[in-house]
Every structure is written in C-alpha cells, then in structure tokens.
Chains A and B, each alone.
Chain A
C-alpha cells in the first residue's frame, strides 16, 4: 500500500517535473528567438495583426474593468473614511490600490481570459489540423512565425492596457467620491498627486510586463501541446486560463515583496496618510 502510494507520488512528481522542464525549454526558445525577430522586417510585420487582436480589441473590456474596480473600491471605503474624518484622502487609497495592485492584476487576469484563451484556441486548432506541421514541412519555424509575435505583443501591450485600467480606476473612484459622495474635487486630486509616486506607477507596470510575458508564454505553450480533437483544444484553453491566473497571482505576491523591499531599502518606510 505504502509502496504503491510512493510509486504514484513518484510518477506524479516525475510527470510534473518533466512538464516544467518542457515549459522551461519553450520559454528559453521563445526568448532566444525574440531579438532577431525584432530587427527583421517580415517578422515585424507579423506583429501588426497580433497588436490589433491582443491590444486594440482588449481596450473596451479593460476600460470597463478599470472603471468598475475604482468605483467599487470607493463605494466600499468611503463610509469608513468619512467615519474617521479622512474622506478627503479617498483619492490616495483609490489611486494607490489601483495603480500598485488592482490595475495590473485585474488587467492581467482579464487578458489571461480574453487573450490567453483565444491564443491557445487558435494555436491549438492549428496544431490539431496539422498547420504547425505544415509550417515545419515548409522549412519555417513555428516558434518564430507564431509564438514570438504573440509573446512580444503580450509583453508590450499588457503594460499599455494596464495604464488604461489604472486611469479608468482612478476616474471611477473619483466619480463615486466626488460627484456622488461629495468629496472635494481639489482634495481628491491634490492628495492623489502628493501620495502617488512614479515608483508606484513603475512598479505596477513592471508587474504587468511579467504578467504579459506569463500570458503569452503559457497560452502559446498550451496551444502547441494540446491533445487532438475539439475536446483537446477546449481542455488546453481551460488549462491556459487557470495556469495563467494562478501564475499571475503568485508572481504578483513575489514581485510585491521584492519591490517593497527595494523601495524601503532606498527610501525607507512610506506613510501614505
């Protein structure tokens, strides 16, 4: 009984480790092919349709996400802040929360669902209909032709979309705080301006670059390794979203820890009120 359980555990560990190894090779191959693709005209031209699909088409959903995150944050906080006489600082709590954490993470999660799922479905379908083999049979490298443009588009556009999300979050918080709950417009923007630093925006964008890379790599990897048939593609899409979501949350925790330590070792503890 104990032996068979140990054998099962051993087999499970082996399978997981070999999958991790395969993914690491996939990441290394993608990263190695990226710089040459950034200087070749034909490879650059492949970025345009990806930029449109991944970036432009995601704008509406990101704007809605940001707006409602900012609004709900303000709705939850305003009464408590009023009770302790700090309603004038609503801009501080909304902007710091959105710019440091909620904007990058929720934009990342939203893109993992919208973009990650679509990329996995597209590449998975290409895989099961032999289009990847067709590329290889023509002497073309599927990693360079398919993965690199999608990876680059995710890395470049996720921070830009995160900026949109941040902006709408702060505006959503303003809408609830100022016109609805009567906080002074001058206080909202004045305290926001004094509390929000370049570091806060930069650290959020740094995280969004990591999230973009995560979405691009996981979704392309899952598409390239999906099982045959419609069920295989569907399962790959689910795995792509779930893995992307979990990895984003884990990366967010470690990145927040790292950035906080770096900040405090340079400037010391920051008091926001």
Chain B
C-alpha cells in the first residue's frame, strides 16, 4: 500500500470501558491524510476517549490503533514519544501550564524535542502566536488570558512542532460565536496552508459543518453515521437529525440508521 493511500490513523474494533461504563464498543475508523474529520455525538459518548486513544494517552481494552501503519496501542511510553511528536493536541480547556507564561507554554515542546537556540525558539514562538493572532502576549500568564486567548495559545503550542495531525477536543466550547468562528477559520487555515490532518471532536454543529470534509456521529460507543457534511445534513436517521437540529423530541431514539450513512 502506498504511503498516500494508507490511512494516517486507523482504529480497528477498539473497545474501552471505565469500570461498569462501556464507552467504546468496537469502533472502526480510518482517517484520510490532509482532510478534516469531525466526530460529533452527545456529551459522555466517548469522543474525547476516542481522541486520546489515537495517540496512546488511553490504551484500548481490545482492538488495535495504527499510525501510518505502525501499531501503537501496545507500544511502551518511551517508544510513543516519536509518534506523539507528529501530533498536536488541543485540549478542551486548553490545558496550558499555569506556572509558565504563554510564550513558555508554546516553547515547551520546542525545548523538549529540539536543539534550537533560545533565540530561534523565541522566533518560532512569535511565529506560532502570530499565526493564531496573538503575537505580543508571550509574557502573560494563562490566568491573565481570556478563554478564547487561552484556546488560541494552546493551539499555538499544539502546532509548535509542525505536526502532521492535530486533534481538537471541543475547540469552540465555551466561546462566543465570533471567537468560535475565528477558531474554525484557524482550523481551516492550518489544514489548507500546512496540509495538516485534522480530527475535531465537537457538538457545535455550526463548527462541524464549516470545517469538516467528513463527519461521523458517535452514539452509544459506535459510529451510527459517516458522510460528507451535506450527507449528514440531509440524513433521515432520526438520531442524527435530533442531534444536528438540537430537537430532543424529534422521534424515537431506537429509529434504524439510514443504510447509506453506515
């Protein structure tokens, strides 16, 4: 199989439980290189768990995870370092290090993994912060930043090492519509300008339709829909319709899934 046709990330029959809670029930997923895949689903359906499984932060109980054809679910932490360098991860609340400034946060992965001089690192930090529209706030602490600024600094940190894949966990949650849209534009910009493969977990449908090349819906531990934004928008599966319209009363929960979307 050629490098380009091979999925950049692949999950095969992945299962994960936390105590009695069976979160992922045999998830299969292959991510296409350079595309933006959006995973939607209700809160608590395991979207973030799925994201963390992709870079080995959570180990599946069963099934396999591959990155560029290399199996990673059984790798030791030490060996995962090389794999993780290829990923950027935007955490839901940013997960900026409180004890460091914004600039030091963005510099952290650079100092950890490169032998660049301090001047060169500062230059890259300024470039990445400029990319997210925040150059000049290097000396501010995370506590001094607004929610949107924290997310953008976290995004700058996630792309500091020029990753091939960026995983976005609820990138627009807690932001006003204008800030949300600027984050959406950033995701699109990174995908188009830097050919980054994006995986976005969200329940914000405006964001999903705007950034996605492909949308999947996770429901009770497995995917019930998979298609382009238009296919999802026109889906007749009531579970999908209820979710994308935000109408809790729109039909029974047990309605069969439309075949073409599976």
Contact = CB atoms under 8 A, between A and B. Distances in A.
A187 interface: no
Contacts of B113: 138-139
Contact of B92 (A126, A130, A131): A130
Looking at A125, A129, A141, which has the most chain B CB atoms within 10 Å of its CB?
Answer: A129
Nearest to B93: A129
A137 interface: yes
Given A139-B112, A139-B113, A130 B84 contact: no
Nearest to A42: B111
Contacts of A125: 98
A211 to B, nearest CB: 26
Interface in A88-141: 125-126, 129-131, 133-134, 136-141
A140 B95 CA distance: 14
B95 A131 contact: yes
B79 to A, nearest CB: 11
Contacts of B85: 139
Looking at A49, A134, A140, which has the most chain B CB atoms within 10 Å of its CB?
Answer: A134
B84 A137 contact: yes
B57 A133 contact: yes
Given A129-B95, A130-B93, A137 B111 contact: no
A42 B115 CA distance: 12
B91 A134 contact: yes
B112 A140 contact: yes
Contacts of B92: 130
Given A42-B111, A137-B87, A138-B112, A130 B81 contact: no
A133 to B, nearest CB: 5
Interface in B80-130: 80-82, 84-85, 87, 89, 91-93, 95-99, 108-109, 111-113
A125 B112 CA distance: 22
A137 B93 contact: no
Interface residues of B, number: 26
B109 A139 contact: yes
A230 to B, nearest CB: 14
Nearest to A128: B93
Nearest to A134: B95
A137 B57 contact: yes
B77 interface: yes
Interface residues of A, number: 15
A137 B56 CA distance: 8
B109 A133 contact: no
B97 A134 contact: yes
Nearest to A145: B112
A93 to B, nearest CB: 45
Contacts of B161: 138
A109 B111 CA distance: 37
B52 interface: yes
Interface in A35-52: 42, 49
Looking at B82, B87, B112, which has the most chain A CB atoms within 10 Å of its CB?
Answer: B112
Given A139-B81, A141-B77, A134 B112 contact: no
Looking at A126, A130, A137, A140, which has the most chain B CB atoms within 10 Å of its CB?
Answer: A137
Contacts of A42: 111
A121 B85 CA distance: 29
A166 B113 CA distance: 45
A130 B96 CA distance: 9
Interface in B163-207: none
A131 B157 CA distance: 13
A126 B81 CA distance: 20
A126 B142 CA distance: 13
B143 to A, nearest CB: 12
B224 interface: no
Contact of A133 (B77, B91, B96, B111): B91
B55 interface: yes
Contacts of B81: 139
Contacts of B95: 129-131, 133-134
B108 A138 contact: yes
A126 B95 CA distance: 8
B62 to A, nearest CB: 22
A70 B261 CA distance: 78
A133 B111 CA distance: 18
Nearest to A140: B112
A215 to B, nearest CB: 20
B91 A130 contact: yes
A42 B55 CA distance: 26
A136 B57 contact: yes
Which 6 pairs of residues, A with B, have the shortest CB-CB distance? Answer: A134-B95, A139-B81, A137-B89, A130-B95, A139-B84, A138-B109
Given A131-B97, A134-B91, A139-B80, 6 more contacts: A130-B91, A130-B93, A134-B97, A137-B91, A140-B112, A141-B77
9 contacts: A129-B95, A130-B91, A130-B93, A136-B77, A137-B89, A138-B108, A138-B112, A139-B82, A139-B113
